[in-house]
Amino acid sequence: MRIVTYNVNGLRSAMTKGFTEWLKTDPADVICLQEVKAHRDNVDFQQFEQIGYTDYWYPAQKKGYSGVAILTKIKPDNVQYGNGYMQSDAEGRVIRADFGDVTLINAYFPSGTTGDERQTYKYQWLDEFFGYLQQLRQQRPNLVVVGDYNIAHKPIDIHNPVSNKDSSGFLPEERAWLTKLFDSGFVDTFRHFHPEPDQYSWWSFRANARGNNKGWRIDYINVTEPLRGRLQDAAIWQQVKHSDHCPVYLQLNNA
């Protein structure tokens, strides 16, 4: 199974920048999108069907905001919308799909960049999501948790860790949450294969940050420990440009 996670920062906008043409190159079997900022009925989803993808959507109630979707060439056995927490579900942040013994969770973590209120909610969401994952693992031990986490974990994951030490997305409490996740038995699949620096998945639109590769690695595909032996390959596709993020890739072998 080839999996991609991609924050498209508005799917309709990405489609005007070549997203559909990119899909035609068969980049992955399952493509998890965040921040689609659209409902299915106002996107030309037939373009995806013609390429061979079935689409599943969990948009935010607020128009033009947040939302997640899954495009897949492999039919899931089960799809669940939301994680049972009212505000998270209203904001369209979590969608789950089961493929055989593997459960894929596509999540768009909140950002705290707009102020204290959202940063406080981000911490609440992180606590709720951690509990959701730990409970789900009891029945479905093979989890793949993909998405825009809006957290850079370590100094290697951000272009200037010193100047960003007080920035949302690199705060000590956020980074500690990711450490707790990995300590609980999750694997950072990109770092499993790639220890090298300067590997980022998001860049500010300001000051030619992408051209200068001054970015953050905030998009992840993390798996539970039982799947470590099935990891085949991982990559960040910085050359793919339909958004301020780029796709992150994982190849997972069958059992």
- Please identify every residue annotated as catalytic: 148
Whole-number Cα distances in Å, 237 to 18, 121, 184, 241, 246: 15, 31, 28, 9, 6
Cβ distance 252 to 231 under 8 Å?
yes
Whole-number Cα distances in Å, 78 to 34, 81, 139: 20, 10, 14
CA–CA dist 124, 165 (Å, integer): 21
CA–CA dist 26, 23 (Å, integer): 6
Cβ distance 68 to 106 under 8 Å?
yes
Q: Considering all CA atoms of the chain, what is the largest pairwise distance in Å, rounded to the nearest integer? A: 47
